[in-house]
Amino acid sequence: MKLVFVGVLSLSVSVAFAQGTFAIRNNDRVLFYGDSITSTSKYTNFVETFILTRYPKLKVTYFNAGVSGDTVYGGKSGTIDQRLARDFFSFRPTVFTIMLGMNDGERRGYDAALFASYKSGYEKMIADIKRKTPTARGWLIQPSAYDDFTRPPVVPGGYNSVLVKYGQWSAQLAERSGYGTVDFNRPVVNLMRKGWMTDQGRSHDLVPDRIHPSLGAHATMAWSLLTEWGATGQISTTEVDSPTETATGVNVSFRKLKSTSTGVSWESLEGSLPFPLDRNEPTIDFAIRLTNLDRAMNVQTVKVAGLRPGRYRLKIDGREIGQWTGAALGLGVNIGNLSTPMADQAETVARMTFERNVIQNMWWRNIKIRYEGMPGEGMSDAIAGVKGLENDCLIQQRLAAQPRWHRFEVEKV
């Protein structure tokens, strides 16, 4: 879809790319279930922040039900029946993901009995979920990678080969059950292999204890899930023709377009924000260098035709974003990964996502699970109070993610 702007009249029509192709819908309740890799809230935070910034009109709630050490039979916070009743069904998810297997294989070589136990436990778990939440849309995530690639394997054949076998079977279970599947193993393996060939020292940091992925690996995993859901890397496309003072765009509205002898200016309202990837975090920076992840996730094209030969600076809200030749601007430049006011806003959303998850863990992990069964009304009152704080944070998250008008100026240097 495109919007055409002519002259200096103000238009406030919002044109967004179609969200019907994205798996997550308005008012969805998304539950992430798994072991410690899920409980760290890293890939889940990335997913939540991406949806908030790329699809800001969607109202979605999230619940992270990851527990360290968990298996298809449950673990330290309860049996699988207790876990499902308290941590899955009570949330009433419309969408869920499950990632289990890292602990089920017990970090040893392939064991047929352990594999059979994993299969029977997972099948029972999925049967319960199908029976009690028949309309929920699910994705079974194939277990993330064990590092047999930047370090010598600790068991014959490597433990990751066991996880691959578990993951391939879980994909078959997903297909039989009418669910989707996402492979978290291969992207992280590819990352480690590229890292080893590029910088052996830094490659160890991608999965530092062999089990728990770094932030850079979690970002890669998040993008795998998002692309499986149909997410787009496109933020917006702006095409301005300076001589005729016209503009077209995808997921953007325009107003106050004006050409001068030295450039052109306009105001625009993009329908989405960039996804914030903190390149000051070493493993995120390394992952970006290895995969160009930021270019895949953030495409915000600005194209300005009809400029005279020379070099031009682009300013947004008075801040210089970069300099390009008129010819380069005529072809189009990607500002999605640059330091812009929109990127600053997205970083605020990411910080609020982190805080919301801290609050959720406070009432669920630190109160509900820890003091389960305590008599009296104090626990329920405490949970209600902290849930109210989480809801306040969620409202502020959504407000912070709403795009704003910005002034663009392209002027000759």
pLDDT at residue number 19: 53
Q: What is the pLDDT of residues 169-193, one digit of tens each?
A: 999 999 999 999 999 999 999 999 9
| Per-residue pLDDT, 17 | 52
Whether 250 maps to a domain, the answer reads: yes
Furthest-apart CA pair in the chain: how many Å? 77
Does residue 335 form part of some domain? yes
Whether residue 9 has pLDDT greater than 70: no
pLDDT, average across residues 360-388 = 92
Shared domain for 149 and 95, answered yes or no, is yes
pLDDT digits (tens, 9 = 90+) for 222-264: 999 999 999 999 999 999 999 999 999 999 999 999 999 999 9
Q: Rounded CA gap, 224 and 231, in Å?
A: 10
Residues 355/321, Cβ–Cβ less than 8 Å: no
Same domain, 34 and 153: yes
**Same domain membership, residue 167 and residue 45:** yes
Domain interval for residue 38: 29-228
Could you give the angle at which helices 159-177 and 112-132 cross, rounded to 10 degrees? Answer: 30
**Cβ-contact 273, 50 below 8 angstroms:** no
Q: At what angle do helices 215-228 and 42-54 cross, to 10 degrees?
A: 50
The count of domains in the chain is: 2
106: in domain: yes
Same domain? For 146 and 240 the reply is no
Q: Is 190 within a domain? A: yes
Q: How far is CA 148 from CA 73, 136, 159, 211, 344, in A?
A: 26, 36, 7, 10, 38
Torsion of CA 180, 115, 73, 206, to 10 degrees: -70
Domain boundary, last residue among 228, 247, 278: 228
**Over the stretch 115-168, which tens digit does the pLDDT of each residue have?**
999 999 999 999 999 999 999 999 999 999 999 999 999 999 999 999 999 999
Contact by Cβ (8 Å): 181, 142 = yes
DSSP for 184-250, please give it: SHHHHHHHHHHHHHH-HHHHTTSSTTSSS--HHHHHHHHHHHHHHTT---EEEEEEEETTTTEEEEE
Q: Report the distance separating Cα 34 and Cα 44, nearest Å.
A: 11
Copy the structure tokens of residue 55. Answer: 């699809």
Tell whether 23 is covered by a domain: no
- pTM here is 0.94
Q: How far apart are the first and last CA of the chain?
A: 34
Claim to verify: residue 220 and residue 238 sit in the same structural domain: no
Task: Decide which of 228, 246, 261 is a domain's last residue.
Answer: 228
As a whole number of angstroms, the distance between CA 56 and CA 26 comes to: 10
Asked, for residue 24, whether it belongs to a domain, the answer is no
Distance CA 393, CA 246 (A): 41
**Six-digit token pair at 213?**
């992925």
Whether residue 191 is found in the same domain as residue 244: no
Report yes or no: 290 and 278 within 8 Å, Cβ to Cβ. no
Contact 145, 163 (CB under 8 A): yes
Q: For residues 330 and 182, what is the distance between their CA atoms, to the nearest angstrom? A: 39
Is there a single domain that holds both residue 117 and residue 246? no
CATH number for the domain spanning 182: value is: 3.40.50.1110
Question: Token pair 């699809």 is at which residue?
Answer: 55
Average pLDDT, the chain: 94
Average pLDDT rounded to a whole number, residues 270-281: 96
Is residue 14 predicted with pLDDT exceeding 90? no
pLDDT tens digits, residue range 302-350?
999 999 999 999 999 999 999 999 999 999 999 999 999 999 999 999 9
> Strand pairing of 74-75 and 78-79?
antiparallel
Domain shared by 265 and 332, yes or no: yes
Q: Has residue 307 been placed in a domain?
A: yes
Strands 95-99 and 137-142: parallel
Q: Note whether 55 and 24 are within 8 A (CB).
A: yes
* Structure confidence at residue 111 as a pLDDT band (50, 70, 90): very high
Half-sphere exposure of 54 (CA within 13 A, CB side): 27
- Given 228, 251, 271, the domain boundary residue is 228
β-pair type (137-142, 180-183): parallel
Same domain, 10 and 41: no
Same domain for 290 and 401, yes or no, is yes
22 domain residue, yes or no: no
- 182 and 329 both lie in a single domain: no
pLDDT-above-70 percentage for the chain:
95
- Same-domain pairing of 205 and 279: no
